[in-house]
Amino acid sequence: MKKNIKYILFILIFISGDIFIGYVLSVLSKKQKYDNRIELILENKIEADVVIIGSSEALNDYSPEEIKLNTGLSCYNLGQSGSNPIFHETILDLVLKSAHKPKLVIYNVDDYAALYTKSGIVFRKDVLYPYVDNPFICKKINSELGKNELATNISYTYRQNVNFINALKYLLFGKEKPDARTTNINSFGATLVDKKGGDEHTVFEMNNINLSVLRMNLDYRNSILNIQKKCSENNIQLLFCLPPQFRKSTKGFKNRIQSVIDSTYQLIDYSNSLTEAAYFSDQEHLNKDGATYFSKLISADIKKIKI
């Protein structure tokens, strides 16, 4: 009897410890993150008519504030640096699960990284880690990391273990310091970069990517098709944009991406619409002035869409 009580006590302490550690990790990791846009989606706090999704170009190149001023439509930027189309689809899924569905989704297309594997462009699971309590996100993380579903459901610590290092970082250094290019999110979700001008000597460097030798990433392609399907099913307008570039576009890429986009959706090519170095922070990203200017341009096209 005494032995049994000992074992029951051991199990109870273990379960309590598991819940406690998991809870602490969850709370601290959320506090550590500067960029809390995923939390805002999950808490239904994003009530925007227009939502922008994509990678760093989406994050840096679009000023939702400017779009709102010019179109009268509320706008929010959900771009995430270094993210791939599979991640963009996940973001759209989260938006569609929230209480407020947008009227228009602007999908910023990365030159060749939208359909081809490119180093540094990944499924940003680290962005989702603090919100692993959400069943949809938990499932995504499990499949990305090969985590055991049953163990994730049983142990709170195991489910939250992806947040261990970030929780420690919060304890050691406090809240994450925003990065000027990737996480310095303003109240409209965008990160507008102050840096002006690119290196004059590298600006019009030839883009030597030869698409014919690259194999199309079918998962990326499927995600772009899924994004269209999901927008269609939810009666959401979808606009594909190739943003301004301070370099030459990849030869043939526009045709490739066009072939993946349904004819009912529009792909607008802005890649040559801005040419002054003063509008760019580097070859691929606009700075604040560039984003403001470009947002005016895109606002004019948004106005033409029946929303």
Amino acid residing at 169: K
State which of residues 14, 153, 175, 307 lies at the interface with another protein (CB under 8 A): 14
Per CB under 8 A, 168 contacts another protein: yes
Per CB under 8 A, 34 contacts another protein: no
Name the one range near another protein by CB under 8 A: 77-85, 111-119, 164-172, 280-288.
164-172
Name the one range near another protein by CB under 8 A: 17-25, 80-88, 229-237, 298-306.
17-25
188, 65 Cβ separation under 8 angstroms: yes
Q: Collapse the DSSP code of 24 into the 3-class scheme (helix H, G, I; strand E, B; otherwise coil) and give the result.
A: helix
Name the one range near another protein by CB under 8 A: 103-111, 155-163, 193-201, 258-266.
155-163
The count of C-alpha atoms lying within 13 angstroms of the C-alpha of 240, restricted to the half-sphere facing its C-beta, is: 24
Per CB under 8 A, 157 contacts another protein: yes
106, 55 Cβ separation under 8 angstroms: no
Residue-wise DSSP of 160-173: HGGGHHHHHHHHHH
Residues 86-145 contacting another protein, CB under 8 A: 145
For the four alpha carbons of 104, 223, 78 and 289, in that order, the dihedral sign comes to negative
Name the one range near another protein by CB under 8 A: 45-53, 153-161, 196-204, 237-245.
153-161
The count of C-alpha atoms lying within 13 angstroms of the C-alpha of 52, restricted to the half-sphere facing its C-beta, is: 34
Q: How many residues make up the chain in this entry?
A: 307
State which of residues 169, 248, 251, 254 lies at the interface with another protein (CB under 8 A): 169
State which of residues 5, 99, 172, 218 lies at the interface with another protein (CB under 8 A): 172
Beta bridge partners, 107, equal: 53, 240
Report the interface residues with another protein, using CB under 8 A: 10, 13-14, 17-18, 21, 145-148, 155, 157-158, 161-162, 164-165, 168-169, 172
